[in-house]
Amino acid sequence: VNEQSAKETLGRVLKASKAEQVSARLNMFHQASTRYSNNVITQNLERKRMTLTVRVAFGNREGVASTGETSDSAIAGVVKRAEDIATVVQPNPEHMPPVEPREYLKFGAYHRATAECTAARRAEMIRAAASICEKSRLSAAGSFHTGEEAMAVMNSAGLFAFNSHTNSRFSCTAISEDSSGKSEVSNEDVTRINPESIASFAVDRAVMSRSPREIEPGQYTVILEPPAVAEILAFMMWGFDARAAHEGRSFMSGKEGVKMVHASVNIHSRPGHEMVPGRPFNEDGLPCPEMHWVRAGVVENLHYGRYWARKCGRAPTGYPSNLIMDGGKATLDEMIASTKRGVLVSRFWYVRHVDWMAMLLTGMTRDGTFLIEDGRIVGGVRNMRFNDSPARLLGAVEMLGPQRRCGEWFEMLVPTIKASGFNFTSKTRF
Amino acid sequence: LKQLMLAGIAEAKRLGASYADVRFVRSRAQFVSTEDDHVQRVDDSENFGFGVRVIAGGSWGFSGCGVVSEEEMSRAVRQAIEIARASATLRKGEGVVLVPEEVHVDKWSSPCVKNPFEVSVADKVGIMLKCAGKILAVKGIKKATSFMQFNAVSRQIATSEGTFVETSYVNSASSLQATAVGNGDAQTRYYAPPPQSRGYESIEDGRLEDNAERIARQAVEKINAPTCSAGQKDLVLDPDHLALTIHESVGHATELDRVLGMEESLAGRSFATIEKLGDFRYGSPIVNFVANNTLTGGLASTGYDDDAVACQCWDIIRDGILSGYITNREVAQAIGATRSTGGNRADGWWSIPIIRQPNLCLMPGKEKITPEELISDVKDGVYIEGTGSFSIDQMRLNFQFGGDAFWEIRNGKRTRMLKNVTYQSITPEFWGSCDAICDERFWRQYGILDCGKGDPSQRAQMTHGAAPARFRNVNVGGVARE
């Protein structure tokens, strides 16, 4: 589907509706995914999916319906379902009219090589990674996804927006009897994915963390590598909703404009960032924000939805499509060398909120956790559970290192962080 | 459609597939939510498409397509074969071998008295706003939210072995939430009737309006409640809390694909490895877990799984000993099984089936015992209801759970509410500390609506039944904000 055909389809939707306000959105996905474990491919698929979503309103009575088809009869059906809802449902006093036409950033995040990557090519790249693990007598597991997506939005206020992009993600976990290491790389351009270097990193971490010793939980200086930082930062950023903060339901209540973390911490979004491109617009057509959330440790902006922004007499922010935390000049080796006793964490796993009002999180270390003593890594340690707050952690930053692109929940570019007093609370058996 | 499916299978066989299936899925979902005194969102979605799954060269290939035509079927079959051939380049040994399943030609549907899609949206919102009114009328409440969601799914599965099954089910779920704000704190309390594979009648049975004021008052009580002190305490856990503990520490741990390392790169593996089968003490002798995909109203009761294996009932833990796993036709042979337990499910036509948890239930105690009797033998403990924070390591050993509502137990009596309670344990130690389970009079079904697994990620639903159960000397608290 290209911009022209999306425009034609959405135009048919707008014509088919009698509602006072109509917004229509097309989301198209073509995804290829190969999964492997124990050095063999265990799952392999390709799929194409399209969703047409129609939002209509009569006054402030709203209805939303969606379908996977775009024939005239399917469009008539989905419009009728949305209108039927809007005709009978109770009014929504927080209804917002469709977004007015906007200008969007243009940036290239579409690569033909990614869109056209074949199953044979995916298998070849996985074989390259698996062989590196096998050479070190380690078992390899991971996945390799490639795909293209497009989103188009049109509404009765005259807005039309179209964006398409490609994506690829390659992960490799190397596993020994008592240790593991993982690496994962995402890029819009599949030719930038190097399976050998991804596997080599995973192998190094698995080998380094063999025969892990058990250490007692407690407060430690930690060096968190970017995948660990990305995991807990995402949970903190979900707390940046202005409405929840203003209603006293969030850790961020009263923190707008206030210094919350260390002065070296800057967190921002920039959709056109060359290393971690986001998206030009949200699902309603509002541009994705380019703004600072935290600057020099001060909370500069919260996320304002359209209704709450109107109520507060300001512009909505839109929802961020990427997050960037500025890094520093310290190298990982310098961070380790400067640590008397601490723990190096490669990544976290199963992080969840424990106490929303305290921004308290829990989670486990995974795939390479190391004890540092007298400025050097002395070996792997068994995994531990933490209970701590990312806001407290970012207030106790001692050093910032180089950034890496990662993130399960958001596309992120975040640094390695050294911070004091991280709270490990229990241990596990491996 | 059947002709199109059979044509697809014939073409797959002609192109060299040793096995093929075609699965058509039509689904419709409705989500209705309110915030405070108004409707927030009403969303009615539908989709239709098919997936082709083949084994060629000893490996799997899958293609999913949302455009239904002869041309697209042919294209999808060829693509699935090409993908399988690519997978086979890394094959070791003979590759994928499926355990046998008898040929089924059948139709199945879940019980549904009142089609939720025929109930007016205004009626649904009307009930939810009445509940919101009751919640917001309680002093100290700042926020009231609610939702109802309904899914109707119909599937047709044809296999190259001659099976042709048609199944349909309807799921219904709802929830109310009240948030109190004050003293620099915010606390929520929710009420969710058990989600079930039934029609709108299950929402009516849930009596939302009768519970709205109660949860609002408890949210206010919770905000003024003391934080739980840390230490070793006894726990008495309500069935609607146990559902998630069961799900995370027993359900995922006994999925055989995880046990075999096939989920390592994302969700992880399991400590419950296959040499432990029939021998490993997972819990105390009173702990019995039964997987039952024939349970009426169970969210995983779908007639057949997506391997077209008939739904079954089997032991996972018997008298505290690990006794079974959740399998599909591919992995069952790893434990010497001659038949799959029927655990392979996909979350739509676009997804390849993966092993999913069944309706997994902690069986009631054999001795007559009431919740009051469980509590009466606790000196220092906590009673926990509902779901809160949850986290577990990738081998399913170290877990930490919160809850939704907590009551202190002192000298055999349930007393005041507490807040910010968590407990942490190691799976076999925790189930080993279970010393009493209420009898079948107190056994209830709850469920999980949004179980994420797989890569690409898929969602699934399943029921977990239990009666209130007591656990001795569990590590409680110690992570509160102070």
Chain A residues within an 8 Å CB radius of B418: none
- Overall average pLDDT of the A124-130 stretch: 98
Tokens of B171: 């799921």
Distance of CA B410 to the CA centre of its chain: 33
Query: What does the alpha-carbon distance between residue A25 and residue A48 come to, in Å, rounded to a whole number?
Result: 17
Torsion of CA B238, B243, B246, B249, to 10 degrees: -110
Query: What does the alpha-carbon distance between residue A374 and residue B220 come to, in Å, rounded to a whole number?
Result: 51
Cα dist from A19 to A57, A80, A87, B350, whole Å? 6, 10, 9, 32
Q: pLDDT tens, A268-281? A: 999 999 999 999 99
A31-48 burial by CB neighbour count: b if 16+ within 10 A, else e? bbbbbbbebbbbbbbbbb
Q: How many CB atoms lie within 10 A of CB B17?
A: 23
Tokens of A342: 């601490």
Whether the pLDDT of residue B480 is over 90: the answer is no
Query: What does the alpha-carbon distance between residue B132 and residue B147 come to, in Å, rounded to a whole number?
Result: 11
As a whole number of Å, the end-to-end CA separation of chain A is 49
- Overall average pLDDT of the B20-44 stretch: 97
Query: What does the alpha-carbon distance between residue B48 and residue A52 come to, in Å, rounded to a whole number?
Result: 13
In eight-state DSSP terms, residue B323 is -
Q: Is B216 helix (H, G, I), strand (E, B) or coil?
A: helix
Question: For B47, which of A31, A68, A360 is closest by C-beta distance?
Answer: A68
- Overall average pLDDT of the B168-174 stretch: 98
Whether the pLDDT of residue B482 is over 50: the answer is no
Q: What is the pLDDT of residue A249?
A: 95
Nearest to A174 by CA among A128, A212, A207, A211: A207
Query: What does the alpha-carbon distance between residue B2 and residue B164 come to, in Å, rounded to a whole number?
Result: 9
Contact A88 B121 (CB under 8 A): yes
**In this predicted complex, what is the ipTM?**
0.96
Whether the pLDDT of residue B481 is over 60: the answer is no
In sequence order, the β-bridge partners of residue A47 are A31, B64
Q: Which of B389, B430, B457, B476 to mutate to test the interface with A (most CBs of A within 10 A)?
A: B389
Q: Is A291 helix (H, G, I), strand (E, B) or coil?
A: strand
CA distance to partner chain A, nearest, from residue B323 (Å): 22
Residue B347: pLDDT band (50, 70, 90) is very high
Residue by residue, DSSP assigns B407-435 as EEEETTEEEEEEBS--EEEEHHHHHHTEE
Chain B residues within an 8 Å CB radius of A65: 43-46
Exposed (0-12), middle (13-18) or buried (19+): which is A177, by Cβ within 10 Å?
exposed
Query: What does the alpha-carbon distance between residue A23 and residue A31 come to, in Å, rounded to a whole number?
Result: 26
Question: For B62, which of A44, A90, A352 is closest by C-beta distance?
Answer: A44
Contact B262 A49 (CB under 8 A): no
Q: What is the pLDDT of residue A334?
A: 98
Q: How does strand B38-56 pair with strand A61-67? A: parallel
Chain A residues within an 8 Å CB radius of B60: 41-44
Q: pLDDT tens, A194-253? A: 999 999 999 999 999 999 999 999 999 999 999 999 999 999 999 999 999 999 999 999
B374 in Cβ contact with B413 (< 8 Å)? no
Cα dist from A93 to A20, A60, A207, B18, whole Å? 16, 7, 59, 59
Contact B61 A45 (CB under 8 A): yes
Q: What is the pLDDT of residue A409?
A: 74
Nearest to B143 by CA among B195, B170, B182: B182
- Overall average pLDDT of the B319-324 stretch: 98
Whether the pLDDT of residue A71 is over 80: the answer is yes
Percent of chain B scoring above 90 in pLDDT: 98
- Overall average pLDDT of the A94-116 stretch: 95
Nearest to A240 by CA among A269, A212, A211, A215: A269
Chain A residues within an 8 Å CB radius of B126: 90
Chain B residues within an 8 Å CB radius of A43: 60, 62, 352, 354
Question: How many Cα atoms within 13 Å fall on the side-chain side of residue A225?
Answer: 23
Please give the backbone phi and psi of residue A122, each rounded to the nearest 5 degrees, phi first. -60, -45
Q: Is B462 helix (H, G, I), strand (E, B) or coil?
A: strand
Q: pLDDT tens, A348-403? A: 999 999 999 999 999 999 999 999 999 999 999 999 999 999 999 999 999 999 99
Chain A residues within an 8 Å CB radius of B43: 64-66
Q: What is the pLDDT of residue B479?
A: 58
- pTM beyond 0.95: yes
Q: What is the pLDDT of residue B477?
A: 86
Q: pLDDT tens, A160-169? A: 999 999 999 9
Whether the pLDDT of residue B356 is over 60: the answer is yes
Query: What does the alpha-carbon distance between residue B466 and residue B374 come to, in Å, rounded to a whole number?
Result: 14
Distance of CA B103 to the CA centre of its chain: 28
Q: How many CB atoms lie within 10 A of CB A374?
A: 9
Q: What is chain B's length?
A: 482
Cα dist from A377 to A177, A213, A342, A415, whole Å? 21, 13, 9, 20
> How many inter-chain contacts (A to B, CB under 8 Å) are there?
253
**What distance separates the 2 farthest-apart alpha carbons in chain B?**
73
Question: For A249, which of B66, B179, B456 is closest by C-beta distance?
Answer: B179
From A131, which residue of chain B is nearest by alpha-carbon distance?
A: B90
Contact A360 B125 (CB under 8 A): no
Query: What does the alpha-carbon distance between residue A32 and residue A117 come to, in Å, rounded to a whole number?
Result: 8
